[in-house]
Chain A
């Protein structure tokens, strides 16, 4: 029942926000880890994997 409710809420959100196609894009949503790691100004990026 809970899974159905979550899917239903997602569907409602998408229907409500269908005009997303007309909105500009800036930035990439992301997540990171490991948990507990400290990010500091000046840390170096060693590699970027890209979509083709």
Chain B
């Protein structure tokens, strides 16, 4: 995207939707509580890579295209469902990385679209309730108050997230991307790795060394937009990667072994500062 808006919950519209396995059984009328449901993640369901989202120019509608069929099919839903319609929808409780959020059922058309292509009963939900959940990443930070205090000092409000894994933003650098690319075989180096890495903000750092972002604490950006001269990005902790970076966006399966970023990064990138650990030698095998 050429431009995005920062909010207290990350980038506007970012991960406002999630897919859940259809709980089948409706909640009891008198229970008053929403049932906890399981959500789908790309680290377990690689076929999710075949759903490509796009937002129209007016930031009104989300279109999800399924690229795994011929001809391609798509679904369009409002980026923000109407409050009146939402009040009549079923509500579910999602637990993601230890913190919970409500999900509003988007409807049967969306459920049918995803269920057909995933070949299992799923439903699309929109973030409900207050519209956000707590950041589970705080559990990784020894002094949880540090980030929040800094946020207050800088005039920011305490941050929340929607259906994101662990934090509102993920920052990466161009030199780290290039380092990653050099680990692939030559014929595979044209691939757009950032889509697999799923970065929110990818930063051109010029001649700085690869993995420079490991030491970042705070960045100041000078915005080109009117009315805002400076934007602060505060780093919370390093992003620990999972098998999702092995998803093949072309086939909806796992990439071949020589393109598996997880395994290619593991030999020297197990450098989580919260969990110092001697690097393995020789590299761990990975399948």
Contacts and interface: CB of A to CB of B under 8 A. Distances in A.
A33 B154 contact: yes
Contacts of B219: 30, 45, 47-49
A23 B140 CA distance: 14
B228 A38 contact: yes
A35 B216 CA distance: 21
* Among A12, A25, A35, residue most surrounded by chain B Cβ atoms (within 10 Å): A25
A49 B213 CA distance: 11
Q: Chain A: interface residue count, which band?
A: 35 or more
Contact of B223 (A10, A31, A39, A50): A39
Interface in A7-32: 9-10, 12-14, 20-32
Contacts of A35: 6-8, 156-157
Interface stretch (B24-32, B124-132, B162-170): B162-170
Contacts of A21: 270, 272, 275, 277
Given A26-B239, A27-B238, A33-B154, A40 B224 contact: yes
B136 A37 contact: no
A28 B239 contact: yes
Contact of A25 (B136, B159, B225, B272): B272
Contacts of B239: 25-29
Interface stretch (B64-72, B91-99, B111-119): B91-99
B269 A34 contact: no
Contacts of A1: none
Interface stretch (B74-82, B102-110, B196-204): B196-204
A31 B10 contact: yes
Contacts of B172: 26-28
Contact of B266 (A6, A24, A37, A46): A24
B262 interface: yes
* Among A10, A20, A33, A34, residue most surrounded by chain B Cβ atoms (within 10 Å): A33
B200 to A, nearest CB: 8
Contacts of B213: 27-28
A36 B12 CA distance: 9
Contact of A26 (B201, B218, B265, B284): B265
Given A13-B98, A20-B275, A24-B265, A46 B232 contact: no
Nearest to B233: A32
B44 to A, nearest CB: 14
Interface in B201-255: 201, 203, 213-225, 228, 230-242, 245
A14 B275 CA distance: 12
Given A33-B231, A38-B3, A9 B236 contact: no
Contacts of B245: 26
A20 B272 CA distance: 9
Interface of B: 2-8, 10, 95, 97-100, 134, 136-139, 147, 151, 154-157, 159, 166-172, 176, 180, 197, 199, 201, 203, 213-225, 228, 230-242, 245, 262, 265-266, 269-272, 275, 277, 284
